[in-house]
């Protein structure tokens, strides 16, 4: 692990075991550690004025603690974007956008204001300074927790100012062992899995808090054009979905298309889910490509093994990606991320299948 002795480092502290262990590790190394916690929204059952786990850990470690209020920005940049993309027929990934605009945008700027040399987070990913003068984002040593897929939007400038101390740890058990050895009160706290601002991971209930934006009932149509049934809102569906269609059919049916303009959900057999490639927008390259064609491996969802592809670059940060073999459930709103071995080259937003 790189040694940050004497450096001032702001640690993004959520109150979980990962970021708390990062703060303790860096303090042990002799860094001047400052805890920084983002207030993004009101959590159910939160009691105003009581200390959260992040502040309790900071108190335990004897480090300064700052809470920054990003409620308005988070509501506008993340929650509203999530709603509008869902109502537009897409399936967004708010964690990618939050990393881009909030954690490594607003929060990194706040760390600078506090005089910090670096911002450290509890992400499982590695940040390596190359002999070519570039920073390289690589998968975590502990692949089961690797979060590189969510960080393809980072720039060279951002990478030069961020630290990922958990990138080299071999297991979650090792993190918990270290946390317990430091005596951290959150050593056995369970991990959070779901989208942070959606209670119980029930995104439909979250979206239906704004009934005036709902599409209402519409047709469920087979790829052949036959009307098979009715849906109760396009926002309830995502590409590849099989459950909850309420249609009796001779073969299993899957959602293969969502058209909010026509208020229509299209279904088909499993072969209708496969596509030879995709269209991508908002491309970001951590390592600048040479030429207008890039051969790489790519992932179109987080829990997926990378597969070979060719990216053709188009004007305006757009591109076409062709797969070596057809892939299932290309989903607009999700991200395609490009890899070479264990390194993230870049990625972008999926706009549709080819």
pLDDT in tens, 251-283: 999 999 999 999 999 999 999 999 999 999 999
Residue 45's H or E segment, with its range, is none
14 is in an annotated binding site: yes
HSE-CB at 186 with a 13 A cutoff on CA atoms is 26
HSE-CB at 352 with a 13 A cutoff on CA atoms is 6
38 is in an annotated binding site: yes
Alpha carbon distances (Å) from 290 to 101, 118, 154, 173: 27, 30, 19, 41
CA angle 18-301-88, nearest 5°? 110
Mean pLDDT on 13-31 = 97
- Model confidence over 64-89: pLDDT tens digits? 999 999 999 999 999 999 999 999 99
Mean pLDDT on 138-160 = 97
319 is in an annotated binding site: no
Mean pLDDT on 303-323 = 97
Q: Quick one: pLDDT at residue 275?
A: 98
Q: Quick one: pLDDT at residue 48?
A: 76
Model pTM score: 0.95
CA angle 1-160-303, nearest 5°? 70
What are the chain's domains?
Answer: 8-182 (3.40.50.620), 215-268 (2.30.30.280), 273-353 (2.40.30.10)
- Looking at the chain, the whole-number percentage of residues with pLDDT higher than 90 is 91
pLDDT at 49 over 80: no
pLDDT band for position 166 (50/70/90)? very high
84 is in an annotated binding site: no
Alpha carbon distances (Å) from 206 to 12, 82, 194, 197, 331: 27, 10, 13, 9, 21
Q: Which DSSP state fits 270?
A: G
Q: Quick one: pLDDT at residue 303?
A: 92
SS3 content of the chain, % helix, strand, coil (to 5): 30, 30, 40
Q: Which of left, alpha, beta for 168 (phi over 0: left; psi -120 to 50: alpha)?
A: alpha
- Round to whole Å and give the CA distance between 156 and 350: 23
Q: 28: closest CA among 36, 17, 20?
A: 20
CB atoms within 10 A of CB 114: 14
Q: Which DSSP state fits 352?
A: E
Give the chain's mean pLDDT: 95
pLDDT band for position 109 (50/70/90)? very high
17 is in an annotated binding site: yes
Mean pLDDT on 102-119 = 98
296 is in an annotated binding site: no
Q: Quick one: pLDDT at residue 191?
A: 85
Q: Which DSSP state fits 151?
A: G
Q: Which residues of 18-47 are buried (b: 16+ CB within 10 A; e: fewer)?
A: bbbbbbbbbbebebbbbbbbbebeeeeeee
Mean pLDDT on 338-347 = 98
Structure tokens at 219: 């047709």
- Round to whole Å and give the CA distance between 104 and 307: 28
Structure tokens at 140: 């975590």
Q: Quick one: pLDDT at residue 42?
A: 87
Residues that are catalytic: 98, 196
pLDDT band for position 50 (50/70/90)? confident
- Round to whole Å and give the CA distance between 322 and 308: 9
- Model confidence over 115-135: pLDDT tens digits? 999 999 999 999 999 999 999
Q: Quick one: pLDDT at residue 111?
A: 98
Q: Quick one: pLDDT at residue 1?
A: 58
Mean pLDDT on 89-99 = 96
Range list of H helices, the chain: 17-29, 53-61, 71-74, 80-87, 94-98, 107-113, 156-159, 172-182, 203-207
pLDDT at 156 over 90: yes
Contacts of 59 (CB under 8 A, 6+ apart): 51, 65
């Amino acid at each position: 692990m790189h040694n940050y002795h004497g450096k001032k480092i702001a640690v993004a502290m959520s109150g979980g075991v990962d970021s708390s262990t990062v703060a303790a590790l860096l303090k042990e190394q002799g860094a001047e550690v400052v805890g920084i916690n983002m207030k993004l929204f009101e959590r159910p059952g939160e009691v105003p004025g009581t200390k959260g786990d992040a502040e309790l850990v900071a108190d335990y470690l004897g480090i300064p603690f700052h809470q920054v209020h990003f409620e308005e920005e988070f509501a506008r940049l993340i929650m509203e974007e999530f709603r509008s993309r869902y109502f537009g027929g897409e399936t967004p990934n708010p964690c990618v956008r939050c990393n881009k605009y909030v954690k490594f945008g607003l929060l990194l700027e706040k760390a600078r204001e506090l005089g910090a040399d670096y911002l450290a987070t509890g992400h499982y990913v590695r940040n390596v300074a190359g002999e070519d003068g570039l920073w390289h984002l690589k998968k975590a040593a502990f692949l089961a927790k690797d979060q590189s897929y969510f960080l393809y939007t980072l720039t060279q400038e951002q990478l030069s100012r961020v630290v990922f101390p958990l990138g080299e740890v071999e297991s979650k058990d090792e993190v918990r062992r270290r946390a317990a050895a430091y005596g951290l009160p959150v050593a056995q706290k369970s991990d959070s899995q779901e989208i942070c601002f959606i209670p119980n991971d029930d995104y439909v209930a979250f979206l239906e808090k704004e009934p005036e934006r709902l599409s209402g009932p519409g047709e469920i149509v087979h790829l052949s054009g036959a009307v098979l049934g009715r849906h109760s809102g396009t926002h309830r569906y995502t590409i590849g979905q099989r459950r909850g269609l309420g249609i009796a059919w001779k073969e299993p049916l899957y959602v293969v298309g969502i058209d909010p303009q026509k208020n229509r959900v299209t279904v088909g057999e499993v072969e209708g889910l496969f596509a030879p490639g995709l269209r991508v927008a908002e491309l970001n390259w951590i390592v600048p490509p040479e030429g207008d064609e890039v051969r790489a491996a790519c992932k179109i969802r987080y829990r997926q093994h990378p597969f070979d592809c060719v990216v053709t670059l188009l004007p305006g940060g757009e591109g076409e990606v062709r797969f070596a073999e057809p892939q299932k459930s290309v989903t607009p709103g999700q991200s395609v991320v490009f890899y070479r071995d264990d390194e993230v080259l870049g990625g972008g937003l999926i706009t549709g299948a080819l």
